[in-house]
Structure 1
Amino acid sequence: MPHCILEYSQNLEQEVPPADLLETVKEACVASNLFSVEDIKLRSSAYKSFITGGQEDAFIHVMIRLLSGRTKEEKKQLSDLVLNALTQFSLKDVSLSVELCDMDRDTYAKKVVLSQ
């Protein structure tokens, strides 16, 4: 835990490799001291069709899904760390956003299926 889902406009791939964006999000999650590096799951999805504010402007949106139970302060610190980390790329004309979503701890289910 957490699941970090990075959505971005495909045109940004010319400026920043997606792997670098994922690494930056991971480092910010580790810096929050809320998770161990082994528990962080990351994935990304590029959008080739997008409209922001009526224009085809670049964007990066990070959704972080985490088990419920953390304080508002902890979640705010995490979102600020991720947002500030994304600004290190000095991108221009881009919208950056971070959203934290609680997953109900009582109903979350997980099973890891390993090969034999």
Structure 2
Amino acid sequence: MPHLIIEHSNNLPMSEMHLLDVLHEAAASTQLFDPTTIKSRAMAFKHFKLGNNKCGFVHVQAHIIEGRTVEQKQYLSDTLLQQLETHLPGHYQLSIHIYDLMPQIYRKN
């Protein structure tokens, strides 16, 4: 854990793999997780509409096992957003959403 699910417009000025690397490494840098358990994936959207004057977007969902403090979740969210702001120009809409997963109902093989 966590699972980083990155949704983005297909018009970013960086490769999808570079985007994955940047965010994967940012999550690891928080030291909130064992780096070997971080899983990241990205999906590009060709068709999208934004209700503002931004030309594209990146939305990151971080699914983590519950139990972290609000401050730890804020730190993760701030770290991911800071990396996006560093690597993408200001005309992209950037957002982060942290989701708690209940260990009682989360399953994997």
In the alignment of these two chains, the number of paired residues is 109
Give the % identical residues: 36
Alignment of 1:33-44 (within 5 A): 33-44=31-42
Question: Rg: which structure is higher?
Answer: 1
* Aligned CA-pair RMSD: 1.3
Contact 1:51 / 1:57 at 8 angstroms: preserved in 2? Answer: no
Alignment of 1:44-55 (within 5 A): 44-53=42-51
Q: What CA deviation, in whole Å up to 9, does each residue of 1:42-72 have, x standing for no partner?
A: 0000000001116673000000001111110
Stretches of structure 2 that go unaligned for 5 or more consecutive residues are none
Which residue number corresponds to residue 114 of structure 1?
A: none
Per-residue deviation at 1:92?
3.6
Alignment of 1:15-34 (within 5 A): 15-34=13-32
Distance of 2:81 and 2:70 partners within structure 1: 16
Distance of 1:5 and 1:47 partners within structure 2: 13
Letter of the 1:17 counterpart: S
Moved more, 95-104 or 56-65: 56-65
Stretches of structure 1 that go unaligned for 5 or more consecutive residues are 112-116
Which secondary structure does the structure 2 equivalent of 1:105 belong to? coil
Q: Structure 1: which 4+ aligned runs deviate by more than 6 Å?
A: none
* TM-score calculated relative to the size of structure 2: 0.94
* TM-score calculated relative to the size of structure 1: 0.88
Distance of 1:31 and 1:50 partners within structure 2: 31
